[in-house]
Amino acid sequence: MCIIVAKKSGVELPSKFVLETCFLANPHGVGFMYNNKGRVIIEKGFMDFYEFYERLIEIDNRIDLSSKGLVIHFRIATSGLIDQGNCHPYPITKANKFLRSTFISCPIAMAHNGIILKYHKKNSQLNDTQLFIKNDVYTIIKKYSLMFYKDERILSYLLKISNSKLAFLDQNGQMTLIGKFVNDEGIYYSNNSYLYGLNKYRIHHK
């Protein structure tokens, strides 16, 4: 099970301990996105926790990520290649080279937690999320414009056809979550696996 960790502007970063717990449970690559200067910036393909964390703190020191929307995704593969290019998040596009790019800026991007059964193909280069974006989300954008995530009917439709949890971030830092997320002190988690390490820590130190 993957996990999405998301926060709105004005909320501090999750602790290193929590982030490492997420990585240990989902070790097939990390990526994150944040808004800056009217764009969403995606950086992904971190296969080592410390490489990821050092980069996150480097950016935080430079632009103060507490003032930005931020979505982090820790992947455990269920379909598609296990490599840097298949880490989340993704821009909304049909182009494979952009979906697999490890550094890209765009007006809106998304991350996914779950399995989209109709795109669940073990031997495919792309994973189910990338195929879902190419075939469904991109089509919705072409029909309804980049503001599709402000329409509750469209969000309900995306939830129905994906049966998953989705996180969108736009160029202004607006975060839109689809599906049930855990809100823990202003940080949203797509499932409670972030607590596993904390629970073990608490038991060990009683």
Residue whose C-alpha is closest to residue 129's, from 144, 112, 142, 141: 112
Q: Would you state the pLDDT for residue 197?
A: 57
Task: Output the domain CATH number for residue 105.
Answer: 3.60.20.10
pLDDT above 80 (res 203): no
Which residue has better confidence, 28 or 198? 28
Task: Count how many domains the chain has.
Answer: 1
Q: Would you state the pLDDT for residue 144?
A: 86
> Which tens digit of pLDDT belongs to each residue from 15-74?
999 999 999 999 999 999 999 999 999 999 999 999 999 999 999 999 999 999 999 999
Q: Would you state the pLDDT for residue 124?
A: 86
pLDDT above 80 (res 123): no
Beta bridge partners of 36: 39
Which residue has better confidence, 198 or 30? 30
Q: Which domain holds residue 158?
A: 3-204
Q: How confident is the model at residue 206 (pLDDT cuts 50, 70, 90)?
A: very low
Residues in the chain: 206
Furthest-apart CA atoms within the chain: distance in Å: 56
- Which residues neighbour 110 within 8 Å (Cβ) at sequence distance 6 or greater? 88, 89, 90, 92, 133, 137, 166, 167, 168, 169
